[in-house]
């Protein structure tokens, strides 16, 4: 489901900020929602953390009030941020969830919530011709601390023709 509206979790925001690539989000999406629990997780990084420094100043990031997850999401025992992201996306099916956590992605699949990971953002950007190559951006994510399996990297290179 292509969407121009997203709700984003903390790890994608943190990794994008650490790799100085957070500005890709408003180029791809018209609405970027950050649930309260995610906002707080990012700010918990402290004054030396790039994401904690930048998030309050990102005029495109819309902070959403705290969301109480329904029992069907609480049962997955996810983190507060993941739970709020999935609750928002479940309640707002026009929004795509940007989330990397494996358990949260499984929950999203069970709920029929559409999900993309941080890497997928750059795949979308390349498909929309906003960037000519995705791999340099993906490598920057790895350099910023996003763990990606070598097999995934090789698959992406093949799929993207890079």
Within 8 A by CB and 6+ apart from 153, the residues are 138
DSSP string for 95-136 = SEEE---HHHHHHHHHHT--EE-HHHHHHHHHHTTS-S-SHH
Within 8 A by CB and 6+ apart from 150, the residues are none
Nearest one of 57, 7, 15, 14 to 31, comparing CA atoms:
7
What pLDDT digit, counting tens, does each position of 136-151 carry?
Answer: 999 999 999 999 989 9
Q: Contact 123/105 with Cβ under 8 angstroms?
A: no
What pLDDT digit, counting tens, does each position of 63-86 carry?
Answer: 999 999 999 999 999 999 999 999
For residue 135, CA distances in Å to 2, 105, 117, 154 come to 22, 23, 15, 10
Tokens encoding 61: 């990031």
Q: What is the pLDDT of residue 159?
A: 87
What pLDDT digit, counting tens, does each position of 36-64 carry?
Answer: 999 999 999 998 999 999 999 999 999 99
The fold adopted by the segment(s) 5-160 is Rossmann fold (3.40.50)
Q: Contact 34/59 with Cβ under 8 angstroms?
A: no
Domain boundaries of the chain, sorted by first residue: 5-160
Please state whether the predicted TM-score (pTM) of the whole model is above 0.85. yes
Give the mean pLDDT of 4-8.
96
Q: What is the pLDDT of residue 160?
A: 86
Q: Is the pLDDT confidence value at 1 over 60?
A: no
Q: What is the pLDDT of residue 2?
A: 58
Q: Is the pLDDT confidence value at 3 over 90?
A: no
Q: Contact 115/96 with Cβ under 8 angstroms?
A: yes
What pLDDT digit, counting tens, does each position of 93-109 carry?
Answer: 999 999 999 999 999 99
Give the mean pLDDT of 114-126.
95
């Amino acid at each position: 489901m292509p969407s121009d509206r997203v709700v984003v979790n903390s790890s994608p925001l943190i990794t994008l900020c650490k790799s100085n690539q957070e500005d890709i989000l408003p180029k791809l999406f018209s609405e970027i929602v950050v649930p309260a629990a995610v906002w707080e997780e990012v700010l918990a990084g402290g004054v030396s953390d790039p994401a904690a420094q930048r998030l309050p100043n990102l005029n495109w990031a819309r902070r959403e009030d705290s969301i109480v997850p329904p029992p069907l999401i609480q049962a997955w025992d996810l983190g507060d941020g993941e739970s709020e992201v999935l609750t928002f996306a479940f309640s707002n099916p026009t929004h795509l969830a940007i989330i990397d956590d494996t358990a949260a992605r499984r929950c999203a699949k069970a709920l029929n919530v559409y999900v993309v990971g941080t890497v997928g953002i750059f795949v979308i950007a390349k498909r929309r011709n906003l960037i000519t190559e995705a791999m340099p951006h993906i490598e920057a994510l790895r350099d910023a601390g996003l763990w990606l399996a070598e097999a995934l990297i090789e698959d992406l290179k093949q799929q993207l023709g890079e």
